[in-house]
Amino acid sequence: MKIEDLIDNFTFFDSWEDKYRYIIELGEELPELPSEFLTEEWKVKGCQSQVWLVPQKNSDGTITFLGTSDAMIVKGLISIVLCIYSGKTPQDILDIDIDNIFSSLGLHEHLSPSRRNGLESMIEKIRNYAAVMK
Q: Which residues are catalytic?
A: 47
- Provide the CA 15 distance to its chain's centre, in angstroms: 22
CA nearest neighbour of 77 among 39, 114, 42: 114
CB 93 within 8 A of CB 63: yes
For 4, the 3-state DSSP assignment is helix
Cα gap 33→35, rounded to integer Å: 6
Q: Which one-letter DSSP state was computed for residue 52?
A: E
Distance CA 38, CA 45 (A): 13
End-to-end CA, the chain? 24
